[in-house]
Chain A
Amino acid sequence: MRRVSAVVCPVCGCCCDDLEVIVDDNAILDVMNACALGASKFLNYNKHRQRKPMVRRGGRLVEASLEEAVRRSAEILVEASYPILYGWSSTSCEAIEVGLELAEEVGGVIDNTSTICHGPSILAVQDVGISGCTLGQIRHRADLIIYWGCNPWSAHPRHMERYTALTEGRFQRSLWRRLILRLHADSMRKKMLRAAELSLIKRILERIKTRRVREAPYTLWEKERKVVVVDIRRTRTADLADHFIQVKPGKDYEVLQALRALIRDEELDVDEVGGVPVETLEELADLMIGCRLGIIFFGLGLTMSEGKLRNVDAAISLTRDLNRYTKFLIMPMRGHFNVTGANVVFTWQTGYPYAVDFSQGYPRYNPGETSVVDILLRGDSDAALVIASDPVATFPKAAVENLVKNPLIVITPDVTPTSLVADVVLPSTFVGIETSGTTYRMDHVPLPLKKVVEPPEGCVPDEELLRMILREVRAIKKEAAVSTVHVEA
């Protein structure tokens, strides 16, 4: 039995690098320090495994040799006039690099999962810039943490514990003591409510019920950092916050712009904006101006709802405005563990972070036109290669319908809905468990992913599979070129 320490978690954008994995006889027995998502991946990754290459023959997926599956994949890509190469966020930067080379070689469109995640955030950043930082800076110095349209409790379970409110920073204390006090008070309140309900003392009941509305003012907690959650429903994260502001669905843009006006000392002649009383917004604006270092973490609540990139644009502009008074920063809560890496590698190779079209022979970028969901909705593509992703389970129905109409190659370590409808399936390894590589944390810090156990026989790392396909594509194109010369001669 051996213990592998400082393992980087290959699940979400937090990339927690303090995991300890207990391995015995090439099997993972236990994992420590991981959240529910990380533990589930390490303990179950091998349960629904794609172990053999498969090729569709006569309408059925049948086992094939790796060479045959690679050859078939290369043929599909060469024959296609507008193939899409999609996924990339759950594999290593090294594999992404080869993927970009392949996309250029076959003249296809390469897109990563940020297209249905923080794509609009990237567009907003390209419009107005971003005031960013690393998570270490937040951990040690931030005294105001705002989660806007995101729910780290569910999507990034250790974010608060490692980087923000529940961590002891060098200059900021963790708020866990205050949190426990509040949880006790809340549980006591519930018990009293139940007792009052049973005893039918209506006066007490009303008093307890109304107490929740009058939450503690910010000034009570002057010495410790504060957490504010802004969302359209009361999430688990909101329960941990000092203050929760509930916005009407689709009204984030209005609320953000109202805050910008308040920060500029302008008066709002309305009672509420986006379902939030102006008084509450004034209080929040004061809090923002009064902090020493504040940060807004924003999630898909801004990018997926009405307004999309304009919501993010407003949030970044608010951050920029706040820097007139204090130090304020903003960061997107990235989903997959290497979605940031995908954007970084795409950018350094092609100049663009996602939705890159090589069909003209040079990289072209126009989200809305060259982004994979739009291509699928228009029905423009005639083949697809999917790697480290599962679009059949994540894309809207109309996009999936067009994806499965055309030849589909899937590179995956496990059986997924996408692999079941594929024409070629190539079994790969889990990056960060069976293969090492590089990943980028949500704050653009590169981290090394470890190889903890050996992959099963027949499973080949993404990078190697892509190199094999690339070699085969070049060989087919060379054969075609030679035969053309012969015909002409």
Chain B
Amino acid sequence: MGRLKVSLLTGRTVNQGKWKEFGKFSREYMESVAVCEMDPQDMKELGLKEGRNVRVTTRFGCIVVKAEKSKRGPHPGTVFIPYGPWANIVVNPETDGTGMPSLKGIEATVEPTEEPVMRLEEILTRHYGNERLRGERRDA
């Protein structure tokens, strides 16, 4: 399977804002932010179909999200992940002395994968190593 070098952008979308207000542990929130909007040409190059999972890797981490055909194209070589816990794993935390991490224009690679997209609870336990979270689930 191929691998593509891209520039990763993060940002707001209407659905991210809408489902954030609904609840971050909801399925809808996950479906609206654990996605990677890609240029149709790039998807073709990787042999990716919409709805398949992709692994996005930067020098700060890697995360599996669902690939979506971008309606805002053409923007070959650029992928977009909405703000959220999924994007945070791969963004650049360095602030260059300004206090502001670099959340746009991060060098990344994208490749198709069969791995599943992690749920938010899994991200919290796996990435933030929390025994604090053992069996915790209070929002149901």
With both chains docked as a complex, state the minimum distance between the C-beta of B35 and any C-beta of chain A, in angstroms: 14
Instruction: Determine whether A476 belongs to the interface, using a CB cutoff of 8 Å to chain B.
Output: no
Write the chain A residue with the least CB distance to B75.
A233
Check B21 against A404 for contact (C-beta < 8 Å).
Answer: no
Check B18 against A36 for contact (C-beta < 8 Å).
Answer: yes
> How many B residues, CB 8 Å from partner?
57
Q: List residues 362-402 of chain A with CB under 8 A from any CB of chain B.
A: 367-368, 371-374, 377, 390, 392-401
Q: List residues 30-44 of chain A with CB under 8 A from any CB of chain B.
A: 36-37, 40-41, 44
Check A48 against B25 for contact (C-beta < 8 Å).
Answer: yes
Check A61 against B136 for contact (C-beta < 8 Å).
Answer: yes
> With A36-B18, A40-B22, A154-B13 in contact, is A306–B93 under 8 Å at CB?
no
With both chains docked as a complex, state the minimum distance between the C-beta of B107 and any C-beta of chain A, in angstroms: 10
Check B128 against A392 for contact (C-beta < 8 Å).
Answer: yes
Instruction: Determine whether B2 belongs to the interface, using a CB cutoff of 8 Å to chain A.
Output: no
Check B21 against A233 for contact (C-beta < 8 Å).
Answer: no
Cβ-defined partner of A373 (8 Å) among B12, B78, B80, B99:
B99
> What is the number of contacts between chain A and chain B, taking CB atoms within 8 Å?
188
Check B120 against A119 for contact (C-beta < 8 Å).
Answer: no
Instruction: Determine whether B113 belongs to the interface, using a CB cutoff of 8 Å to chain A.
Output: no
Check B95 against A373 for contact (C-beta < 8 Å).
Answer: yes
Between B13, B131, B132, B135, the greatest number of chain A beta carbons within 10 A of the residue's beta carbon is seen for B132
Cβ-defined partner of A308 (8 Å) among B17, B25, B98:
B98
Q: Which residues of B contact A232 (CB under 8 A)?
A: 9, 75, 78, 104-105
Q: Which residues of B contact A236 (CB under 8 A)?
A: 72
Main secondary structure on chain B at its contact with chain A? loop
Q: Which residues of B contact A48 (CB under 8 A)?
A: 23-26, 139
Instruction: Determine whether B44 belongs to the interface, using a CB cutoff of 8 Å to chain A.
Output: no
Cβ proximity bits A143-163 to B, threshold 8 Å, 1 near / 0 not: 000000001011101000000
> With A249-B78, A249-B105, A301-B104 in contact, is A233–B95 under 8 Å at CB?
no
Check B105 against A305 for contact (C-beta < 8 Å).
Answer: yes
Instruction: Determine whether B7 belongs to the interface, using a CB cutoff of 8 Å to chain A.
Output: yes
Check B98 against A393 for contact (C-beta < 8 Å).
Answer: no
Check B12 against A151 for contact (C-beta < 8 Å).
Answer: yes
Instruction: Determine whether A217 belongs to the interface, using a CB cutoff of 8 Å to chain B.
Output: no
Q: List residues 232-291 of chain A with CB under 8 A from any CB of chain B.
A: 232-236, 249-250
Q: List residues 84-111 of chain B with CB under 8 A from any CB of chain A.
A: 84-85, 88-89, 91-105
Check A45 against B88 for contact (C-beta < 8 Å).
Answer: no
With both chains docked as a complex, state the minimum distance between the C-beta of A228 and any C-beta of chain B, in angstroms: 17
Instruction: Determine whether A47 belongs to the interface, using a CB cutoff of 8 Å to chain B.
Output: yes
Check A304 against B22 for contact (C-beta < 8 Å).
Answer: no
Check A116 against B100 for contact (C-beta < 8 Å).
Answer: yes
Q: What is the bound-complex CA distance between A154 and B103, given in angstroms?
A: 17
Q: Which residues of A contact B84 (CB under 8 A)?
A: 393
Cβ-defined partner of A396 (8 Å) among B17, B25, B93, B128:
B93
Q: Which residues of B contact A233 (CB under 8 A)?
A: 9, 72-73, 75, 78, 80
Write the chain A residue with the least CB distance to B135.
A60
Check B132 against A56 for contact (C-beta < 8 Å).
Answer: yes
Q: Which residues of B contact A60 (CB under 8 A)?
A: 134-136
Q: What is the bound-complex CA distance between A300 and B17, given in angstroms?
A: 16
Check A421 against B124 for contact (C-beta < 8 Å).
Answer: yes
Check A308 against B100 for contact (C-beta < 8 Å).
Answer: yes
Q: Which residues of A contact B19 (CB under 8 A)?
A: 40
Q: Which residues of A contact B133 (CB under 8 A)?
A: 420-421
Write the chain B residue with the least CB distance to A399.
B93
Q: Which residues of B contact A61 (CB under 8 A)?
A: 136, 138
Check A371 against B99 for contact (C-beta < 8 Å).
Answer: yes
Instruction: Determine whether A303 belongs to the interface, using a CB cutoff of 8 Å to chain B.
Output: yes
Write the chain B residue with the least CB distance to A374.
B95
The segment from A172-180, A317-325, A409-417 found at the interface with B is: A409-417
Q: Which residues of B contact A41 (CB under 8 A)?
A: 21
Check B98 against A119 for contact (C-beta < 8 Å).
Answer: yes
Cβ-defined partner of A37 (8 Å) among B17, B88, B96:
B17
Q: Which residues of A contact B14 (CB under 8 A)?
A: 36-37, 153-154, 157
Q: Which residues of B contact A45 (CB under 8 A)?
A: 21
With both chains docked as a complex, state the minimum distance between the C-beta of A64 and any C-beta of chain B, in angstroms: 14
> With A151-B11, A154-B14, A417-B124 in contact, is A404–B61 under 8 Å at CB?
no
Cβ-defined partner of A368 (8 Å) among B18, B22, B99, B127:
B99
Instruction: Determine whether A439 belongs to the interface, using a CB cutoff of 8 Å to chain B.
Output: no
- 14 residue pairs from A and B, CB less than 8 Å apart: A11-B17, A11-B21, A40-B19, A44-B22, A48-B23, A233-B80, A249-B7, A368-B99, A371-B99, A373-B95, A392-B128, A395-B93, A421-B128, A421-B133
- Listed in ascending order, the chain B residues whose CB lies under 8 Å from chain A are 7, 9, 11-14, 16-19, 21-26, 60-61, 72-73, 75, 78, 80, 83-85, 88-89, 91-105, 120, 124, 127-136, 138-139
- Listed in ascending order, the chain A residues whose CB lies under 8 Å from chain B are 11-12, 36-37, 40-41, 44-45, 47-48, 56, 59-61, 115-116, 119-120, 123, 151, 153-155, 157, 232-236, 249-250, 300-301, 303-306, 308-309, 354-355, 367-368, 371-374, 377, 390, 392-401, 404, 414-417, 420-421
For the complex of A and B, list the 7 residue pairs with the smallest distance between their C-beta atoms, beginning with the closest.
A371-B99, A396-B93, A368-B97, A48-B23, A367-B99, A41-B21, A40-B21
